Amino acid sequence: MWTVPLIVGLLLTMADASATATPSGTATVPLEELIPLYAQRQSPPATPPPTEALVKSQLKGRLTADALVVEGHFDVEVLADGRWTQVRLLQLDADSFPGTLPTLEDATVGVVDGHLCLLTRKAGRYAFDVGVSIRSPGAGPERRAQVRFGPHVAPVPLTLEADTSVFTLTEPLPASGGEAYAVYPQQGTLRVGWRAAVAQAAQAQKQQVRPPLEPRITEATASWVSTLEGRATLRVSYALSLDREQPLELALPEGHRLERVTLNAIPVPVTSGDGTLTLKAAPARLGETTGTLEVVLSRELGVFHLSGRLSLALPRVSWPVAELRARAHFPAVFNYRREGGSLEQYESSEGTDAAAAGLPGKALHFRQFLVAASAPTLELGYSVDISGSYFR
């Protein structure tokens, strides 16, 4: 085996100032020994970044009765790579509580040693949002909260949204448009003081007591349906206006028999004495002011003759009735004429006849307004309708 003599000059520089300089000279090294030495040479160390990370931030806040809620947007550029980097964003005191924390790829955001931090071991840009609630310590109308920045974040102003009709800021702040105010940091800390508006707070805490609603019946509808043999059914529906349970009495017309009573579409038992029904009416649902009551009665009018007279009446209600509309469906072979009573006959503007209403017989329409403590009545005379007969 042959060797090629080489003249290699080596210059070594020592980092330690106290060490002596390496003497210079020449040496002859075989090629097979030089190649491994050349491969094992050390590359110069990489220059570390001037800082581990750069942070840009934006903060928005809003007030509650006893806390300042801060929503922050952070844009972090991590420069160090291949080792763990901790970027401290906000300092959390005992009354500070993190809310929404993001989920990032190759990084995590959490609380470490009293700071809200970004942790990663990979260089790159990380943009995310976080939420922090800062509760005001103590009690009373005066409230204070502060936001302290971490060592890696440059202090920035806080855009505060505060409804001045609900909250009063304890120190004047420059307005930034609408109900937003700018809070500038002082010595690296954002401080906010506020209190609830006294008038608004007292009004909100005061229980609103609504005066009791006078019970009444806004509208009542009644219908008589009779066969030629004189079996008649009376159905009366009442639209109730009330805000709590109220007693209600109905006096049945003479000669009528009670078939059914429903309150808000639910059958209810009632007590009857001397033809008087006593029940407790209530709104259909809690908090509402309306209800419905329906009463079904039956009566024998007697057999219809060639002519005659009908005496009709409705129940007397203990509540005032604003408007009452009644409809009678009697055999179509007779002509009917109003002869008396409190109910007035009118021509229906709805144009409904017996067939349209789904009830047999000839339809007659009556009404009465402002009924109070009385039983509406109607007197009808009838005679055979010979208008279509041959002999007249």
pLDDT digits (tens, 9 = 90+) for 149-165: 999 999 999 999 887 77
Q: Which fold has domain 54-204?
A: Immunoglobulin-like (2.60.40)
Distance (Å, whole) CA 158 – CA 146? 11
Distance (Å, whole) CA 43 – CA 103? 38
What average pLDDT does this structure show over 5-31? 54
What is the pLDDT confidence band of residue 302, given thresholds at 50, 70 and 90? Answer: confident
What is residue 15's predicted lDDT score, i.e. its pLDDT? 41
Distance (Å, whole) CA 362 – CA 314? 20
Instruction: Name 190's bridge partners.
Output: 147
What is residue 43's predicted lDDT score, i.e. its pLDDT? 63
Name the DSSP class of 5. -
What is residue 10's predicted lDDT score, i.e. its pLDDT? 36
Residue that has been written with the tokens 């080596």 in this structure:
10
Name the token pair of 350.
């709805």
What average pLDDT does this structure show over 301-320? 88
User: In the chain, where are the structural domains located?
Assistant: 54-204, 216-384
Instruction: Name 109's bridge partners.
Output: 118
3 state DSSP class of 4 = coil
Q: Decide whether 54-204 matches 216-384 in CATH topology.
A: yes
Distance (Å, whole) CA 366 – CA 20? 127
Q: Which CATH architecture has domain 216-384?
A: Sandwich (2.60)
Instruction: Name 280's bridge partners.
Output: 247
Distance (Å, whole) CA 60 – CA 131? 10
- Does residue 59 or residue 348 have the better pLDDT? 59
DSSP per position, 44-83: PPPPPPSSSEEEEEEEEEEE-SSEEEEEEEEEEEE---SS
Distance (Å, whole) CA 15 – CA 89? 37
3 state DSSP class of 87 = strand
Q: Is the pLDDT of residue 174 over 80?
A: no
What is residue 133's predicted lDDT score, i.e. its pLDDT? 93
Distance (Å, whole) CA 126 – CA 156? 19
Q: Is the pLDDT of residue 266 over 50?
A: yes
Distance of CA 8 to the CA centre of its chain: 85
Distance (Å, whole) CA 215 – CA 289? 9
Of 20-24, 256-260, 339-343, 367-371, where does mean pLDDT reach its minimum? 20-24
Query: Which of 122-131, 342-351, 369-378 has maximum average pLDDT?
Result: 122-131
Q: Is the pLDDT of residue 182 over 60?
A: yes
